[in-house]
């Protein structure tokens, strides 16, 4: 019996992360809410609604926030909204592209196409709106492990798909950190697929998608010189006699 107990004890994880709270609710009208909180300070909340159901302006909207602590103990809070205008994250830890105050921001392609379509089809604004059945949520999965791992996914009848997985890296060490990987997929009002992938860990929130804005690249400014090379150049400029002595020694060694 002792050997069995010892074998079982050896397979236990180094640190068990308790789930303090977990709630999930799904409505037949397309609304849903999901939230959880873990013992190591991770908090996640997300709410989804279906705006203008049964009309040509029907659109899904997801609002959420995630909070956790960095390895240095600083609070990280991410708020986001995803709707017909794309995925819009907000947080003090996110990088901000430089702002050109002389040039107005470009109109997003999806909005520009919508404006062009409306201008070319004014009769549709006055027509009777077609009624469509309310698109409910027909798949939802959620799983939470005692080791800090979790996974969550859902899919709605109007084409919204969401998947998210979380892991606890280096559990029980000073390098312990939470990492969340996810993706969201939906269609714009014009029928174009929108696909977003994201990663959140101790290095911050990193989103990737063709619809996201990209900071402009200044091709006229050369890249900065690495600090180590810059210090070497400054030292050589301040000590030219060392370059001459090394050069004379090299000539003496290789002269016939």
Question: For the segment 179-236, what is each residue's pLDDT rounded down to a tens digit?
Answer: 888 888 887 777 778 888 888 877 777 778 776 766 666 666 666 676 767 777 777 7
Residue 216 lies in a domain: no
Residue 176 scores a pLDDT above 50: yes
If phi > 0 it is left, if psi is from -120 to 50 it is alpha, else beta; for residue 52 that is left
Residues 155 and 236 reside in one and the same domain:
no
Between CA 150 and CA 157, with CA 154 as vertex, the angle to 5 degrees is: 180
Residue 128 scores a pLDDT above 60: no
Residues 229 and 202 reside in one and the same domain:
no
Mean pLDDT of 14-27: 76
pLDDT for 26 equals 77
Which residue is associated with the tokens 């203008």?
Answer: 52
pLDDT per residue as tens digits for the range 74-114: 888 888 888 777 777 888 877 666 655 566 556 666 666 66
In angstroms, what CA-CA distances link 176 with 24, 65, 166, 170, 224?
A: 28, 21, 13, 5, 33
Residues 105 and 29 reside in one and the same domain:
yes
Structure token pair of residue 189: 């009002």
Residues 234 and 196 reside in one and the same domain:
no
Residues 142 and 248 reside in one and the same domain:
no
| Chain mean pLDDT for the chain | 72
pLDDT for 7 equals 42
Residue 181 lies in a domain: yes
Residue 6 scores a pLDDT above 80: no
Residues 117 and 16 reside in one and the same domain:
yes
Residues 197 and 256 reside in one and the same domain:
no
Instruction: Tell me the residue range of the domain where 69 lies.
Output: 2-208
pLDDT for 214 equals 65
Split into its structural domains, the chain has a count of 2
Residues 184 and 242 reside in one and the same domain:
no
Residues 24 and 50 reside in one and the same domain:
yes
pLDDT for 246 equals 47
pLDDT for 232 equals 73
Q: pTM for this structure?
A: 0.38
C-alpha 180/C-alpha 152 separation (Å) is 11
**Range with lowest mean pLDDT among 30-39, 47-56, 140-149:** 140-149
Residue 99 lies in a domain: yes
Structure token pair of residue 38: 């873990």
C-alpha 203/C-alpha 209 separation (Å) is 19
Residues 99 and 49 reside in one and the same domain:
yes
């Amino acid at each position: 019996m002792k050997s069995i107990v010892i074998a079982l004890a050896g397979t236990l994880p180094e640190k068990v992360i308790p789930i303090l709270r977990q709630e999930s609710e799904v409505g037949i009208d397309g609304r849903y809410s999901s939230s959880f909180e873990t013992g190591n300070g991770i908090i996640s909340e997300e709410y989804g609604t279906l705006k203008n159901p049964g009309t040509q302006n029907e659109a899904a909207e997801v609002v959420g926030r995630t909070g956790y602590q960095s390895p240095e103990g600083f609070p990280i809070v991410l708020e986001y909204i995803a709707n017909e205008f794309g995925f819009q994250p907000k947080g003090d830890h996110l990088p901000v592209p430089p702002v050109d105050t002389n040039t107005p921001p470009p109109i997003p392609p999806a909005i520009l196409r919508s404006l062009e379509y409306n201008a070319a089809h004014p009769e549709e604004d006055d027509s009777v709106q077609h009624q469509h059945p309310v698109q409910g949520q027909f798949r939802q999965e959620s799983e939470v492990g005692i080791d800090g791992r979790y996974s969550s996914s859902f899919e709605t009848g109007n084409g919204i798909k969401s998947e998210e997985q979380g892991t606890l890296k280096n559990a029980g060490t000073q390098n312990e950190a939470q990492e969340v990987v996810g993706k969201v997929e939906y269609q714009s009002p014009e029928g174009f697929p929108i696909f977003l992938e994201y990663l959140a860990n101790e290095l911050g929130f990193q989103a990737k998608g063709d619809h996201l804005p990209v900071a402009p690249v200044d091709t006229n400014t050369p890249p900065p010189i690495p600090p180590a090379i810059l210090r070497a150049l400054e030292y050589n400029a301040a000590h030219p006699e060392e370059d001459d002595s090394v050069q004379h020694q090299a000539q003496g060694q290789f002269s016939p």
